[in-house]
Amino acid sequence: MRDLKPRLARITDLNHAAALLEWDQETYMPPGAAESRARQVATLRSLSHELLISEETLTLIDRAKPESEIDQDLIRVVSRDIEKATRVPSSLIAEMARASGLSKGAWQKARQENKFSEFAPHLERILDLSLQHAEALGYEETPYDALLDQYEEGMTTAQVSEVFTSVKSDLVPIVRSISEAPDLSDSAVRGDFPLKKQWDFGLEAVKAMGYDMNHGRQDVSAHPFSTAFSITDVRITTRSDAKFFNPGFFGSLHEAGHAMYEQGIDMQLEGSPLADGTSLGMHESQSRMWENLVGRSRPFWKHYFPRAQQAFESTLGGVDMESFYRSMNAVAPSPIRVEADEVTYNLHIMLRFELEQDMLAGEIKVQDLPEQWNDRMESWLGIRPNDDSEGVLQDIHWSLGAIGYFPTYALGNLMSVQLFNAACDENPNIISEMESGQFDSLLSWLRENVHQYGRRKSANQILKDSTGTTLSSEPWLNYIRTKFGELYGF
Amino acid sequence: MRDLKPRLARITDLNHAAALLEWDQETYMPPGAAESRARQVATLRSLSHELLISEETLTLIDRAKPESEIDQDLIRVVSRDIEKATRVPSSLIAEMARASGLSKGAWQKARQENKFSEFAPHLERILDLSLQHAEALGYEETPYDALLDQYEEGMTTAQVSEVFTSVKSDLVPIVRSISEAPDLSDSAVRGDFPLKKQWDFGLEAVKAMGYDMNHGRQDVSAHPFSTAFSITDVRITTRSDAKFFNPGFFGSLHEAGHAMYEQGIDMQLEGSPLADGTSLGMHESQSRMWENLVGRSRPFWKHYFPRAQQAFESTLGGVDMESFYRSMNAVAPSPIRVEADEVTYNLHIMLRFELEQDMLAGEIKVQDLPEQWNDRMESWLGIRPNDDSEGVLQDIHWSLGAIGYFPTYALGNLMSVQLFNAACDENPNIISEMESGQFDSLLSWLRENVHQYGRRKSANQILKDSTGTTLSSEPWLNYIRTKFGELYGF
């Protein structure tokens, strides 16, 4: 292990340096530096990849004598990383990079001009290469397994399909009931919310939750994100709307949820490939938990609403807490995923999950995609996009070749409730703590059951060990039924 | 060249990524991340070093067929880099790193407690290792040649000594005359200078000079510096004093001078090891030119003083330009190098240059260093440090093992006047442009004669090609005599 660990630390350091270059690109980099920066990031990522799959690393792994369970996990996870990285021929990787480069430009143009036909041939190429990619990676049942596994290791298409089918069959009627119920006004979260005050108010909340500013910081970027350069340096970014409370505040909570996950990884894993979130779904469970289960709850605002009134007096001075709570939770089916509320969000994801599979299986032709998209939107959400720009062309992901990625968002939502319920079962005081602006018991439970392990446990294993069950839709559906049934009276 | 260039670009990218990590460390990094960051920087620097001296790089250089003069320069400079990098055994490099690690801590403690004896054994070790280092690097006349050459390639100790001796013999009497003349008050640069206004005023000036914010930016750090991540991304930092105009404003001009040098490198060199300043002295010539020859001149303030009055109305509203000009140029011998004025600065450097040589030659024992330091300070500057903390212990450099580094500061001062005079000879309108806040002719001349070449030409070559002479003290002495003779009436 003595020679293997420094080797793996180098690989990790290269990836983290690349992440810092990317963070800088989104926050402070002067505009004229884009080209050289792209080359630098590519250099660091390639070097890291080459070091990972090199003969020398393989030899060190073969010779390594694990001295602890962590060592065993390290060897297992890294061996799997290498196997995956070496299964795909570099000619295919280069071809995917080339195709997605072209495809991204075509998508931008197509979206701007609302012309799906401009993007269609590129999407066909992406799908074709994705199938080749899946064949190279290998799978048990369906090519989609291989693609999904890149983002959500260990989850199968069958497992996800089963859960999603159950979500959909219950959720579509719920959305219909909500659409038929009287609207909740969102007027209390609209109005004047000065940016500086939003910044301070959001930071106060994420610090109270446990986001450690000694090992993190917040900056402004066009699209909020969280990124880690080590367990001791996990940053978030935010962007606020001076006329709308939700995006800035819940964005900060969301990113801090991601960041607290990585800040909570066992320091024994620092500098190793194990020091990362175990899957995108598990990562999203953390962000969505703090954003929604904590941040959009009555107990949370029992403590924070008086503070919000103080910070935004001209807008909230005459509002009561209940109106504010209802406003932030108003459900409004929209064609745009990134603007979706807690209830409808998963349907946006499931739409993409189904269409990805149907396209890969050849059951839908790319040329028919817009109609399929719009029809399903209408039948699930009761709305039809006005055009393809706010329909099938809204997301960048497919143009980048990310097929199999979207489901992780919905998986995160489902897991967040499973984990939150388990935490509350073990610590019934979590809710009362929240009412007084305390989050210690919740955070401790998450550190103990989720965060500390980094990549040592899979998402499935974490769910099993901490909740006693596997991935399940019922807890999330119950949560939605209870919360929004009360709000909308169904 | 087709295979060599991407290899060299990788090496350069690694160094630039390390530089960004260091920039971040000084500007935005959360405090708790210091340890992991140190490891990451070390990883990138080591990888870059290993790639540089690898068999593969050597083979590519051997096989390379230069297709242009740039290619020829590239091969020449990189071959020399590799030769230097391989001459020093890695055991010695490791020992120097270890010794300077210990020495830095000891220096900090010694300085704090004003106890030179705590630092003395470490300095002895540093000197011993520096001699070994010099032997490994090789030299023609004296070990100091090898050490100096690390920072100022191509300059010899004899060349520098000759020039410094001439500076010293003229400068000591000048300092004496100034000390005997009536003091110039610096009251006009002392007072209220609000930080935000200093920030804006300084940025306005450096942008007018030609610092390109599309390929740069300014941030705050404890110690101002300039750093480049590519020709298209060269940043500066600043730190201002709300009660003293000079440090913030002239600091910004100084760093922008460094930065404009690297922004002006020929874009054909982007991503290659040639895209850097050719020596520390030449770099310093650029920073000192903009800081002093431009920034502390009457023509400059003819344009900028009314603006400064507007920006700092409460402090400068009742001051006239001449008082402001005299205030910023007041000479006041001080024991502290970093606070030194234009006249005395070079004496601080020459003191260190002489002592370094005497110690290496065994002509001064380390234990006698404080007395030697204080005696020479007294005889050259007419002041004696109160204690070693403001004397021999004031600088961190020796503790880090940087012997041979200090002279580059004085060389920069000398070269700045040689280059500025040549620029003005060719473009007599430079001064009148300055009077209306224009700097195009000066910057164009510098781009043409200095900046564009990066490391393609040595400092000596640049001086020869652009001024027709070699390094010389007379232009700088003339400048000092004229400027300060008028101010102090000698």
* Burial (Cβ within 10 Å: 0-12, 13-18, ≥19) of residue B314: exposed
- Are residues A419 and A289 located together in one domain of the fold? yes
pLDDT tens for B112-134 read 999 999 999 999 999 999 999 99
Residue-level pLDDT at A317 = 95
Give contacts of B47 with chain A, Cβ < 8 Å: 10, 14, 47
Helices (H) and strands (E) in chain B, counts: 21, 3
Task: Report chain A's C-alpha Rg in angstroms.
Answer: 23
Which of A22, A51, A86 is a domain's end point? A86
What does the pLDDT read at residue A90? 86
Chain B closest CA to A212's CA: distance in Å? 10
C-alpha A267/C-alpha A256 separation (Å) is 19
Give the domain extent around A71: 1-86
Domains contained in chain A, number? 2
DSSP 8-state assignment for residue A50: H
pLDDT number for residue B94: 87
Partners of residue A39 in chain B, C-beta under 8 Å: 9, 13, 271
Touching check for B230 and chain A: CB below 8 Å? yes
User: Reduced to 3 states, what is the DSSP secondary structure of residue B218?
Assistant: strand
In a domain, B260, yes or no: yes
Name residues whose C-beta falls within 8 Å of residue A341's C-beta, 6 or more positions apart in sequence: A329, A330, A331, A332
Which pLDDT score is estimated for B225? 96
| Over residues A349-362, mean pLDDT | 96
Quick one: A44 and A180 in the same domain? no
Same-domain status, A62 and A203: no
B35 — contact with chain A (CB < 8 Å)? Answer: yes
In A, which residues are within 8 Å of B8 by CB distance?
none
Output the six-digit token pair for B407: 């002279």
Q: Which of B22, B255, B262, B284 is an active site residue?
A: B255
Say yes or no: B54 and B142 in one domain.
Answer: no
CB of B220 less than 8 A from some CB of A: no
A255 is catalytic: yes
The answer to whether B215 faces chain A, any CB pair under 8 Å, is yes
Q: With an 8 Å Cβ cutoff, is A26 touching chain B?
A: no
* Rounded-to-integer distance, Cα B317 and Cα A489, Å: 69
Q: What is the pLDDT of residue B101?
A: 85
Distances (CA, A) of A354 to A107, A157, A165, B305: 21, 11, 10, 68
Q: pLDDT for A334-351, tens place per residue?
A: 999 998 999 999 999 999
Instruction: Give yes or no for residue A141 having a pLDDT over 90.
Output: yes
Contacts of A28 in chain B (CB under 8 A): 28, 217, 219
pLDDT band of B90, cuts 50, 70, 90: confident
Regarding whether B19 and B104 lie in a shared domain, the answer is no
Question: Would you call B24 an interface residue with chain A, using a CB distance cutoff of 8 Å?
Answer: yes
> What does the alpha-carbon distance between residue B373 and residue B390 come to, in Å, rounded to a whole number?
11
- Asked whether residue B21 is assigned to any structural domain, the reply reads yes
% of residues, chain B, pLDDT over 70: 100
pLDDT of residue B280: 97
Residues A325 and A348 in one domain: yes
Query: Is the CB of A333 inside 8 Å of chain B's CB atoms?
Result: no
What are the CA-CA distances from residue A32 to residues B232, B233, B236 (Å)? 6, 7, 16
Of all residues in chain B, the percent with pLDDT exceeding 90 is 96
Nearest-angstrom CA–CA distance, B248 and B328? 12
Statement to judge: residues A451 and A327 lie in one domain:
yes
Q: Does the pLDDT of residue B375 top 90, yes or no?
A: yes
In the numeric block, which tokens belong to residue B472? 């010389």
Averaged pLDDT for residues A281-285? 98
Q: Which of A86, A103, A120 delimits the end of a domain?
A: A86
Domain check: are A230 and A241 in the same one?
yes
Of B48, B75, B102, the position where a domain reaches its end is B75
Residue B81 lies in a domain: no
Q: Is the pLDDT of residue A94 over 90?
A: no
Contact check, Cβ <8 Å, B230/A36: yes
Task: Say if the Cβ atoms of B10 and A213 lie within 8 Å.
Answer: no
- Using one digit for the tens of pLDDT, what is the confidence trace for A370-404? 999 999 999 999 999 999 999 999 999 999 999 99
Task: Report the residue of A36, A56, A221 to disrupt the B interface, i.e. the one with the largest count of B CBs within 10 Å.
Answer: A36
A413 and A441 belong to one structural domain: yes
Q: Choose, out of A13, A212, A231, the residue to mutate when testing the contact with B (most B CBs < 10 Å).
A: A13
Cβ-based contacts of A36 with chain B (< 8 Å): 229-233, 270-271
Q: Cα(B54)–Cα(B59) distance, rounded to whole angstroms? A: 9
Mean of pLDDT values over A160-165: 96
Residue B128 within any structural domain of the chain: yes
B47: amino acid identity, one letter: L
Element (H, E) at A226: strand A226-230
Nearest to B32 among A14, A17, A215 (CB): A215
Structure tokens at A234: 């996990």
Q: What is the pTM of this model?
A: 0.94
Tell me whether residue B82 is in a domain. no
**Are B48 and B93 in a shared domain?**
no
Tokens of B266: 């020929």
A465: three-class secondary structure by DSSP? helix
* Residue pLDDT, tens place only, A191-228: 999 999 999 999 999 999 999 999 999 999 999 999 99
Query: For the segment A44-87, what is each residue's pLDDT rounded down to a tens digit?
Result: 999 999 999 999 999 999 999 999 999 999 999 999 999 999 99
Same domain, B34 and B101: no
| Beta-carbon separation of A33 and B230 below 8 A | yes
What mean pLDDT is predicted for residues A315-328? Answer: 97
| Dist CA A183 CA A327 (whole Å) | 10
Q: How far is CA A251 from the centre of its chain?
A: 12
Q: Within a 13 Å sphere around the CA of B435, how many CA atoms are in the beta-carbon half?
A: 7
Is A241 a residue whose pLDDT tops 90? Answer: yes
Q: Specify the pLDDT at position B209.
A: 98
Mean pLDDT of B91-107: 90
Using CA atoms, how far apart are residues A366 and A281, in angstroms rounded to an integer?
A: 27
CATH of the domain at A346: 1.10.1370.30
Residue B226 belongs to a domain? yes
Answer whether A126's CB lies under 8 Å from A99's CB: yes
pLDDT at A101 over 90: no
Q: Rounded mean pLDDT of chain A?
A: 96
Tens-place pLDDT, residues B442-476: 999 999 999 999 999 999 999 999 999 999 999 99
CA distance, residue B258 to nearest chain A CA (Å): 17
Looking at the structure, tell me whether residues B209 and B341 fall in a common domain. yes
A228 three-class SS: strand
Contact criterion met (CB below 8 Å) for B370 and B116: yes
* Catalytic residue (choose from A255, A291, A342, A354): A255
* Alpha-carbon dihedral B140, B144, B147, B153, rounded to 10 degrees: -60
Whether chain A has a CB inside 8 Å of the CB on B435: the answer is: no
